[in-house]
Amino acid sequence: MSNRWDNNHDYHSFSNVDEVAVRHLALTLDVDFSAKLLSGIAELSLEFIDDTCRELWLDLRELSILKVEDDNGQPLNYQIDREDPVLGQRLNISLQSATGKVRVHYLTSPEAQGLQWLSPEQTSGKKLPFLFSQSQPINARSWIPLQDTPKARITFEAEVTVPVGMRAVMSALNDADAGLNGRFSFAMEKPMPTHLLAIAVGELGFGKIGARTGVYAEPELLDAAVKEFEDTEQMVEIAESLLGPYPWGRYDMIVLPPSFPFGGMENPRLAFITPTLIAGDKSLVSTVAHELAHSWTGNLVSNATWRDLWLNEGFTTYFTNRIVEAVFGKEQAELEVVIEYARLKEELATTEVEQQDLPANVQRQDPNDAFNRFTYDKASMFVHDLEKRLGRQAFDKFLYRYVQHFAFKAITTEAFVAYARQTLLVEHKDKISEAELLEWIYGYGMPPYFTPPQSDSLDKVDEALSLWLKGAAAESLVTQEWRVHHWQYFLNSLPEVLSQTQLMELDECFKLTESTNAEIACDWFRIAIRNHYDPVLPALTKYLIRIGRGKFVRPLFSELQVAGYHTEIKQIYGKARQGYHPSIVVQLDKSLHYRP
The residues spanned by each domain of the chain are 11-201, 303-442, 457-591
What pLDDT sits at residue 596? 80
Tens-digit pLDDT profile for residues 349-392:
999 999 999 999 999 999 999 999 999 999 999 999 999 999 99
- How many other CB atoms sit within 10 Å of the CB of residue 91? 24
Contact 334, 340 (CB under 8 A): no
548-580: b or e for each residue (b if 16 or more CB lie within 10 Å)?
bbbbbbebbbebbeebebeebbeebbeebbebb
| 78, 246, 376, 402: the active-site residue | 376
What pLDDT sits at residue 1? 42
Confidence label for 2 from pLDDT (cuts 50, 70 and 90): very low
Confidence label for 595 from pLDDT (cuts 50, 70 and 90): confident
Tell whether the model's pLDDT for residue 590 goes beyond 60: yes
Instruction: Please give the helix or strand (H or E) that residue 582 lies within, else none.
Output: helix 582-591
Distances (CA, A) of 410 to 10, 141, 277, 363, 399: 11, 19, 30, 17, 16
- How many other CB atoms sit within 10 Å of the CB of residue 12? 25
Report the predicted TM-score, pTM, of the whole model to 2 decimal places: 0.94
Domain at 303-442, CATH class: mainly alpha
376 is catalytic: yes
Q: Could you tell me which CATH number the domain at 457-591 has?
A: 1.25.40.320
Distances (CA, A) of 335 to 338, 392, 452, 459, 480: 5, 19, 12, 11, 17
DSSP 210-256: ETTEEEEE-HHHHHHHHHHTTTHHHHHHHHHHHH-S-TTS-EEEEEP
**Which residues contact residue 90 at a Cβ distance below 8 angstroms, ignoring those fewer than 6 apart?**
14, 57, 58, 59, 60, 80, 81
Domain at 11-201, CATH class: mainly beta
Tens-digit pLDDT profile for residues 534-555:
999 999 999 999 999 999 999 9
Average pLDDT over residues 510-529: 97
CA 310 to CA 376: how far, in whole Å? 6
Tell whether the model's pLDDT for residue 48 goes beyond 90: yes
Nearest Cα neighbor of 489 from 526, 517, 520 is 520
| 266, 291, 325, 336: the active-site residue | 291
Question: What average pLDDT does the structure give for the chain?
Answer: 96
**Which residues contact residue 500 at a Cβ distance below 8 angstroms, ignoring those fewer than 6 apart?**
531, 533
What pLDDT sits at residue 3? 56
